[in-house]
A and B are shown apart, each in its own frame.
Chain A
């Protein structure tokens, strides 16, 4: 599979975006997006885990027995997540408490395992790293968009700073259904934009 670094990056962020194109990693996309700061921490955590797990899995791709692939990728990811979790507990205890189990759940976040399985197990380390980072960024862009809207409408602030005008807060944006509606809107708008730019939207996977 000959793919150029530029294409990999572009696909990860837009064309084959993990959240609205492949519909992976929805759990955390919904759960952590009611505050921008938490979302930012989560996104950085995901980019870090994804890129490093991809590169590690890719380095070991020729020595990993086929049948043990999934479990070994899971363990690689888990190792990086433990590092992340301890880092957060040490330096950002409040954020870590608010994110609760969702940091740990990066392990079973389908994006990470999906990219490691689909891409890193067949490609060179450097390219896998790029693919991991691009998917992570694509995920982050979507999450931050959702988070900005949810926090602004739900709490009247953005990243803790109050908006300059007063309005009735939309409580629904803070609770669960708001997350579903917001993600649905993002999926809708982005797929609609993609359908406009490329006539065969169904065949976005190269």
Chain B
């Protein structure tokens, strides 16, 4: 695989290969926590943070621990444990460092352990054979991409809740999925700019 520039990966993972809109990862929390802008922002920031940290950490775990020991098949368990441990650690640090930040992020952090986008980004960096800085760019970019997507949806939903009447059967997940589809269509418009597969 040819070497991709860090910035290419960074922008591609925000716009053209958005982890949520093209790889469908992290849908569960995306659907349930997008009612209000404020909570969406809190969760989004937490995702950016955790995704960046776990991508780098899992890069080290995979290439410096699992590969030398020929334990690649344990990657799922290793990644999950690393993510769970890191989330716990981040939670403790945030708790000590800043009360305000903890109040904003605290409730979202445990949710993140089971957010498939986090595990997904770690698996992608192994499948796509990224090096350390590419992994960093990918983790950060994917996180920001996820944040962008959930903020877009939360904005639309909070407007929709006030103004629009939705047919009962379509209320909730139905209409949200349609809106997401339209957002995804918009993001496809970016696909000429940069491309990673």
Binding site for B on A (CB under 8 A): 20, 23-28, 30-31, 70-71, 74-75, 78-79, 81-82, 85-86, 100-101, 104-105, 107-110, 113, 175-181, 183-184, 187-189, 191-192, 195
B178 contacts A181, CB within 8 Å?
A: yes
B181 contacts A27, CB within 8 Å?
A: no
The answer to the question of B7 belonging to the interface, with a C-beta cut-off of 8 Å to chain A, is no
A101 contacts B173, CB within 8 Å?
A: no
Interface range, B side: 35 or more
Chain B residues with CB below 8 A from A176, complex form: 21-22, 24, 184, 188
Chain A residues with CB below 8 A from B114, complex form: 70, 74, 108, 110, 113
Identify which of residues 74-98 in chain B touch chain A, using a CB-to-CB cut-off of 8 Å: 74-77, 80-81, 84
Q: Which of A100, A176, A195 has the most CB of B within 10 A?
A: A176
Determine chain B's interface SS by DSSP, over half rule: helix
Identify which of residues 53-86 in chain B touch chain A, using a CB-to-CB cut-off of 8 Å: 73-77, 80-81, 84
Chain B residues with CB below 8 A from A109, complex form: 116
Binding site for A on B (CB under 8 A): 21-28, 31-32, 73-77, 80-81, 84, 113-116, 118-120, 123-124, 127, 168-170, 172-175, 177-178, 180-182, 184-185, 188
The docked-state distance in angstroms from the alpha carbon of A141 to that of B120 is 25
- Chain A residue at smallest Cβ distance from B115: A108
Chain A residues with CB below 8 A from B173, complex form: 20, 23, 184, 187
Task: Assess A175 versus B177: contact at CB under 8 Å? Given A105-B123, A109-B116.
Answer: no
Task: Assess A177 versus B116: contact at CB under 8 Å? Given A75-B80, A78-B76, A187-B173.
Answer: no
**What is the CB-to-nearest-CB distance from A166 to chain B, in angstroms, rounded to a whole number?**
26
